[in-house]
Structure 1
Amino acid sequence: MDGKTAREKADEPRARVLVRLPPHLVVLFPGADRLVPLDAGTVDEMVDALDALWPGMRERICDETPSIRRHINVFVDGRRARLATPLAPGADVFVLTAISGG
C-alpha cells in the first residue's frame, strides 16, 4: 500500500501509454485487442484499466498478493516492471507470457 487515499490517486496525472498484449492472453477475452492505448499512472492502474475493458484480465496478469504472476512479465520501455512501476507519457508496455517446456 502506498498510503494514498482514493481521492489523492484520482488527482494524480495519468499517462497515455500503449499496451501490447500477447496472443495467448487476448484469445481468452473475446473482443480484446493486441494493441491497447490506455491512460494510467502505474502498471497497477494499467492492469485495472485492462480489467475494466475485459473483466477477469487482472486475475490472469496478477496473483492474490497482489503482484504480477510468475509466468507473466511486464516490460515498460524495455525494462522489467512491477505493479508500482510508474508510466511516463508515451511508454511502450509489453505484457508477455513465459514459455516453458522440454
Structure 2
Amino acid sequence: MSAAQDLTDARPARVRLGPLLAHMFPDADRVVELQAATVADMVDALEARWPGMRDCICDTSPAIRRHMNVFVEGRRATLASPLAPGADVYVVNAISGG
C-alpha cells in the first residue's frame, strides 16, 4: 500500500448532528470529523467528547433509539454499519406527524 493510499484510508468520517442534539449539547460542534470503523465506534467517539450523547442516540439493548436516525451515505444505518474512510454521516431525530 502506498503512502497516498494510507492517507486516503485515514480520512475521518464527517458526522453532522441534527438540531435536537445541537440543542441538548450546545457545546457540541454541528459537524465533527471522527475516526471510526462502525457507527458504534462513532457513537463511542461522540460520547467521549460529549458525555451523555450515547444515551440520546442509543437505547439499552443497545441499538439506535426508535426516535433517532443515523444515515451513512444517505442510507439508514445500525450500530453495526461500517463507516468507509471519509463517510458522510447524519444523526437526526425522526420526524413524525399526523
TM-score by length of 2: 0.86
Cα shift at 1:101: 3.1
Whole-angstrom CA distance in 2 between matches of 1:57 and 1:25: 8
Partner amino acid, structure 1, of 2:20? H
Aligned to 2:86: 90
Q: Is the 8 A contact 2:20 2:92 kept in 1?
A: no
Partner amino acid, structure 2, of 1:32? A
2:72 is aligned, of 49, 73, 76, to 76
Provide the alpha-carbon RMSD of the alignment: 1.5
Q: Is the 8 A contact 1:21 1:95 kept in 2?
A: yes
Kindly indicate whether residue 38 of structure 2 is the aligned counterpart of residue 42 of structure 1: yes
Aligned to 1:56: 52
Cα shift at 1:24: 1.2
TM-score by length of 1: 0.82
Whole-angstrom CA distance in 1 between matches of 2:27 and 2:92: 19
In structure 1, list runs of 5 or more residues that go unmatched: 1-12
Partner amino acid, structure 1, of 2:51? P
Aligned length: 90
Moved more, 89-98 or 13-22: 13-22
